[in-house]
Amino acid sequence: MKLRKPLKKFIKRVLLPTLGPPLAEAVYSPIVHIRNFLYDKGLLPQKLYPSAKIISIGNLTVGGTGKTPFTISLSNILSSKGFRVGIVSRGYGREGRGEVVVSTGKGPLVSPQTAGDEPYLIATRTQNVPVIVNRNRVLAAKKLIHQYKCKVIIADDCFQHRKLQRDMDIILWDSTIDPKNESLLPAGRLREPILAVRRAHILILTNSELTANYSEYAAVFKRINKELVISKISKEFPQVYSLPKRDVVEISSLKNETIFAFCGIGNPEQFFFFVKKLLNPTGLITQVFPDHHKYSIKDIELIRQRAAEKNCRHIITTEKDSINMPGAPHSSGVLVLQMNININEGVIRFIENTLRH
């Protein structure tokens, strides 16, 4: 819908300051309901591509859920099983608005600024998987199907982008968020009501390491959608490497030291949790930047200065943040914690069965 962006600006700049979050939510809520109703009844058109299977990966909330590493993992798994996979993404935060081929399956062809940090990371970490960014995911999918002969399209952050008809919807939900107590934007973090989980086929509860509420929240979603496949994911950290040349650093050599950890991601506490768990630092100093933050040389200088003041032996960040940092010599010596996602075998079998039928 072409009014979507102006409407968001109107809510943020006019309704929210004037009415406050509760009343602004009361205005936003019927708009979301009407839009979904029109799609559900076929009154708003959806593009179907019969020659390919479309998998949407998305969120019900704003903020980080681990969607990018999940997309990387699923793409590589399906590719290794013989599926010709392609990825479409909006390319949030990138420079420019047109369509960009980020990768033809052999690594990034453009800069992070042109691709967006997350599509660039996806292109870096996937093999034989073309990646295209375009606000119009329908056109991007068409190109992947016709030009790159893809048979499986993974649509990144596409749960609310309903113009592209899909064969499967996968939602990621942060297990530290209680679904019973969340409100719609702008009062809360929900992009649409919890009941929208009825459209989903798979729900992945992420960050289950940080909470004991996995079973309780899984039951909430199961009551809404009895057919929903619900699963956790586990994380592994295969290596730490040093910028700018990505020299691998032995994890054992970093343990029991004072660490300075910084990041600009949707859920920074998750990153800090795993730094503590993996490195067992004697002291951990942290700094949080906004999600998708583009680091200036001054930012890096201030990070180094603060780390030195706290007598930190090492500075560490995430892969996504490393993409948004200036190059050598400014990034030299900064450590990067690489993360992989392990997807439950039952979930993979469910997805594979859908794709083959």
For the chain, strand residue ranges (E) read 53-59, 85-89, 100-103, 131-133, 152-156, 168-174, 202-206, 229-236, 240-242, 247-249, 258-263, 283-288, 314-318, 335-337, 340-343
Identify the CATH number of the domain in which residue 201 sits.
Answer: 3.40.50.300
| C-alpha distance from residue 230 to each of 54, 59, 194 (Å) | 20, 14, 15
Q: Are residues 206 and 349 in the same domain?
A: yes
Distance CA 241, CA 57 (A): 29
Could you tell me if 351 and 292 are in contact, meaning their C-beta atoms sit under 8 angstroms apart? Answer: no
Domain total in the chain: 3
9 and 84 fall within a common domain: no
Spatial distance between the Cα atoms of 73 and 89, rounded to a whole number of angstroms: 16
Q: Are residues 169 and 277 in the same domain?
A: no
Same domain for 92 and 215, yes or no, is yes
Task: Return the DSSP state at 13.
Answer: I
Residue 286 in domain: yes
φ/ψ bin of 284: left (φ > 0), alpha (ψ from -120 to 50), beta (otherwise): beta
State whether 93 and 181 are in the same domain: yes
Residue 331: predicted pLDDT: 92
Question: Does residue 67 sit within a domain?
Answer: yes
Which pLDDT belongs to residue 211? 87
Residues 31, 57 share a domain: no
At 1 the pLDDT is 40
pLDDT at 10: 62
Q: What is the CATH number of the domain that holds 316?
A: 3.40.50
Q: Are 335 and 245 in contact (CB under 8 A)?
A: no
- Is 189 part of any domain? yes
Q: 48 in a domain, yes or no?
A: no
Q: Are residues 93 and 191 in the same domain?
A: yes
296 and 225 both lie in a single domain: no
357 residues of the chain, pLDDT tens digit each: 444 556 556 656 665 566 555 666 677 788 898 999 999 999 999 999 999 999 999 999 988 888 999 999 999 999 999 999 999 999 988 988 899 999 999 999 999 999 999 999 999 999 999 999 999 999 999 999 999 999 999 999 999 999 999 999 999 999 999 999 998 888 889 999 999 999 999 999 999 888 889 999 999 999 999 999 999 999 999 999 999 999 999 999 999 999 999 999 989 999 999 999 999 999 999 999 999 999 999 999 999 999 999 999 999 999 999 999 998 889 999 999 999 999 999 999 999 999 998
| Residues 86 and 205 reside in one and the same domain | yes
The pLDDT assigned to 79 comes to: 98
Residue 261 confidence (pLDDT): 99
Pairing mode, if any, of strands 53-59 and 100-103?
Answer: unpaired
DSSP string for 186-231 = TTSSBSS-GGGGGG-SEEEEE-GGG-S-HHHHHHHHHHH-TT-EEE
Q: Are residues 201 and 259 in the same domain?
A: no
Half-sphere exposure of 256 (CA within 13 A, CB side): 2
Please indicate, yes or no, whether residues 156 and 269 belong to a single structural domain of this protein: no
This prediction's pTM: 0.91
Q: Containing domain of residue 219, as a range?
A: 53-235+341-355
Q: How far is 213 from 215, CA to CA, in rounded Å?
A: 6
pLDDT of residue 23: 64
Are both 61 and 174 inside the same structural domain? yes
Which pLDDT score, from 0 to 100, does residue 7 have?
A: 57
